[in-house]
Structure 1
Amino acid sequence: MATGGGSLLPLGPAKRRSLLAVLLLHPNAPVTMGRLTEALWDEEPPRHCRTMVQGHVSRLRAVLAEHGAQAHGVALVTEGQAYALRLPEALVDAHRFRDLLQASRGHQDPADAVCGLRAALSLWRGPALDGTLPGPLLETAAHTLDELRLTAVEELAAAHGRLGQHATAAAVLRAEAALQPLREPLAAALILALGKAGRTSDALDWYHRTRRLLADQLAVDPGSVLTDAYAALLSADAQASPPVRGAAPGRHQSAQPVPSGSEGTEETSPSCPPPPHTAVPRLLPGRPRGFRGRSRELAAIDRAATGDHGPVIMLTGGAGVGKTALAVRWGHQRSADYPDGCLFADLHGHSTLPERETGAVLRDFLLALGEPADRIPVSPEARGGRYRELTATRRMLVVLDNARDVHRIRPLMPGGAHCVTLVTGRGRLGELVASDAARLVPVGPLTAEDSTVLLSEVLGSGPVDAEPAAAARIVRLCEGLPLALRVAAARVATRPHQGLAAFAGELSDEDSRLDLLTIGDTGVAAALGLTVCHLPEPARYVFHRLGRHTGAVLDTRTAAALADCPPSQASMALDQLAAARLITETSPRAYVLHDLVRLYARTLAPYPSLRHTGTVAGTPAAPRRRTHTRVLLRPANSRGASPYGPRCSCGGPRRGRTGGVTRTAPTGGPCASDARSAYEAPVGTPTPLEGG
């Protein structure tokens, strides 16, 4: 409550403010003593509650009299066993807000509606009934007022939209959507406003952000209001998309992409008539910044994409090597070869987020292809059938990023012979080669020259040109890994007075190298941890023991000696580590362990010997005599290991008082599939690597 000059009245404690709030919510109406005690005491009121209410009323009357309330027609009166606040209702902001909101709805001119709604919203100074006691009565009233305010915001944005002021509408909505991220009507209105303002990319980002929040926090899919807005956005974008240059009316381009480095000519294909659709999805992320090199890999993808019957291409490589950037770069480079658009999905195979459900990805794909939300089948199998039907006559690119499981890939492969599926993943996924004739394109570290260029792109050419020897040393220590190079460049950029030489000196220290190649939740250790968490437990044990290896080449006998296990077990574990791209097989049974991977393996706390368990790669161990929870590779000095990344069970950097890093390698099973049980298996589940 404020004076006519805008000064706030000294109302006193929260109970007194709450009493006044109840009276203001019912102006000029008697409020019983029972109603007031219900609002002021959520539980059983004290024995002298009536006396306490009378004391608060007395003090409120004194404050009102002291500030001349009677001159404005304001009086707090007693009516039998109740109290009433007599005043002109126009003095109550909540009442004025409702009146202005109702009046704005009667305006035919949207400009008048904008003025009225802005006047109504200007009455708000913060959350409704702020500073009052929590309780059902006041919280319900506050929620009702807040809902009215959000409705007014949505109506204001709609009025701006009718005036063609879509950018203003988006700005109005965005501020509220950031505060109410799970309010689907608000997000839907923002998505449509951004689309109409020509910011389709931002609109798509907001949709996917909201969808992820709904899945993570509420475990639900988007409702119809949000999916309808998404479908409308994609449909509007398709109608605004210009026709593909060189494509004849009613015909597609040749199914053969133009080889890299050649111009070629476009052909028409009368045997492939255009499908009856309008939506042309463009879900590929923006072009990767600082992308350099990879000419050999790009050419290999070009060759693989020229196959018939829906080619499947698999980009495989270790953590942080740049597979996603390569796939996105090639997709943009060849976008004209796919006039029916591009679908993109991050499957979160190695991620701090749970793996994407196949049904949810298919729903997104069907919406992007123009399928009305109310016609999307319920079961994943039926969605997959409809998806293959819609893609049967199209020529599209489908990018399935960060894949780990073949069974999640196959349902997402399009049905058209002129579609190309591009998959990225860390494993070899040999099943995809066997069943779908997938072409493997290995993605390795960058060359020294390309690494230096990438460092210059991120950091700027000035520092690199000024200290070329130091730059070359950083490139060597980062081992051509794009992720490591980008983090290193970010480190140097945030400490511009240090210089490359000083940073290279720090980076040469093996004890702190992984620390320096980590910023926030991004870094080499985090990426490696997301791979390690999916290894079988015996392979994780062998991986940890390999951290002690300092030789140039690793063979089976050396690994067996380091791991204290039979050569047959070491051989199987090495195969699994090579399949996960943690080690590189250079010749039959000869492997190389890169320094960054070796350093990460070394930081893991010790396992018991495999000889104590007699297990490898799923071979059952002898029954244990006691039950336990599965918690593996705890930090050596910690009592309870916690995940290094947000909501992730994958183990990673934990900074101690000395500045060093202790890392955990998590148990088997899906990474971060359930944040509350990230480290635990059901009680009674035997752990193959537990010491007896």
Structure 2
Amino acid sequence: MEFSLLGPIAVTTGSGELSLGPAKRRSVLALLLLQPNTTVPLEQLIDSLWEDEPPEHARTVVQGHVSRLRATLAEGGAQAYGIELTTHGSAYLLRLPEELIDAHRFGELVALARPEAAPADAVPLLREALGLWRGPALTGTVTSPPFAAAAHALEERRLTAVEALGRAHGALGEHEHAAAVLYSAAVNHPLREGLIAGLMRALFRTGRQSDALEWFHRTRRLLNEELGVDPGERLRGAYEEILRAEAAHGGRQAARPARGTQGLPADGPAGAPSFHVKHAGGQPPVQGSTAAGAPGGTSSVAPPSAGSPHDARHGSGSGAGSGTGTGRAGAAPRLLPRPPARFLGREDQLGALTRALTDRASGESPLAVVVGPAGVGKTACAVQWAHLHAGAFPDGQLFADLRGFGEGDEAQPAEILRDFLLALGTPPERVPGSAQAASALFRSLVAERRLLVVLDNARSSAQVRPLLPGGPHCATVVTSRSRLDGLVATDCARPVGLHALGHEEGAALLGAMLGPERVAEDPAAARELVDLCDGLPLALRAAAAQLTARPRWRLARLAAALRDERRRLALLSAEDTGMAAALRMSVARLSADDARLLSALARSADGHLNASVAAALAGYDPERTQDGLDRLAEMHLVDEEATDVYTISTLTQLFARDERGESRGRGGGGARGAQDRSGADDEPEGRG
């Protein structure tokens, strides 16, 4: 159920719009919505509904309208939404979640937008806020002075948002957009000097200085004719800045940089009045004044101040627990998976993550990308680091599997953003519909929080970018089989590469899984198992699972079984995880040409080759072969050890030789219960 004040008064449910009846009944509802969760005296309702002397039966009329509104809301299922219209003596109270009121959502979105500090985020937030307007505010109410004053106050807030949107576009250098946003508002409000000043600057920065100056002279004439006053400081300041800049450039004006360089600074805040908000939970407001002229002297449709965007931006409380502009009170989110079991080694990589993610010298939000082949333990490394350093991020830790290399479709940013916003306390009905607006809201909510974001199993840089927090106190870890060079180029991501385990580390992992005594009794077999598993933690864990299920087997017996290349991939599987399934997900993301190239490379005798050998094996021309090798190396399906020296791991060769990606000859006692099943990815791989 949603309540509309920003246009015709309306109540909408999932089945359509409720019939509210005549203007006075709509006016009663509007007045209650302007002061939600606050008792409204019957006398105030009467004074607002009748401009002249009210009739003798006015009390009965109002009581009848309230009764009908109560029945209408009940028929629309109000109780399910926590909505109740009650009588308190000679006053009425409409109790409801304030986020159901469009004017309240508008105020919160505007409050979160920071046109100068974060213009790229402010643009979608302000556009979504202005998109809530469906016409003049409070349309359909009576034409008494209290409602006119309340409608005027709401319109002032809309114009303030329009000015802010213009400034945000200007800060991004999008001066044509700024001019388009401000123009229609300026036409309809020709005496609003801040609006005209912003339009003048936008026009000037697009090279339309004559139009900009004409707006000044037109407004000056109107101010003199209608109000008998001269232009104020803001309008006069914009005019003088344009004249100075024009003189400095000989009258030739090009499009201006975003932040008003060369003597033309960006426009400042609009200076519009703030509004008092009463919270449903009874929290007192921190700042703001009452809206003069509104019914009853107050307006509670503006954005909340206490425990909302201010707290979110200044780090009070404990993250989501301190409340946000669109959030519920609650604990800071702790979404990390449990720590990886039997995690060993990787000290160098953990240290590299620490250096990358604790570097505050740039004042930017640090970003690290853990990359490596399937099964190497990227997720485990990232999650282990996150748990070790969780205390440095008291406002919460977020985690999401982006499913870039998994069964089914990859996760869409809008899906992940919704989960993040809900975890941060945003009510479901207040999560923006568009991914762009949801991304902007996410960045605004965490701008000053100490928050860690772990984005696992990413397919591309484009999938990751909308999910990155912007605050300097946040940090992000991404894992991927792809190098994600785009994030390195555009977001200064620090890559942290993971490689296969050596003999000592691999044997230690087997010992941690099986017990050190079992490994110590046959160290040569343990060493061979590490080689047969290509040193990949996922493969070693699958091998350990086979041995755990067969406590009488010595390590040498499993090593002998794994020497049979027809059975190796099947043996290196354990229920829903295994190397064949993990590799299948990587190969599934290749183009047909690159998949054929990989199959050709698998025919290499020792897994070492150069571009010429690869071209001969694949039957491709040199340029096509080189491009394909580069893409395979980016996906860590081959490794470029040196210039024009490529290697392909044994397990990848075995998988690629079968174009269906299935091991041949799975039979045999050692493979029982170890048949490959799809669905493994970096989550199971990473426990090593």
TM-score (norm 2): 0.49
Structure with larger RCO (C-alpha < 8 A, sep 6+): 2
TM-score (norm 1): 0.49
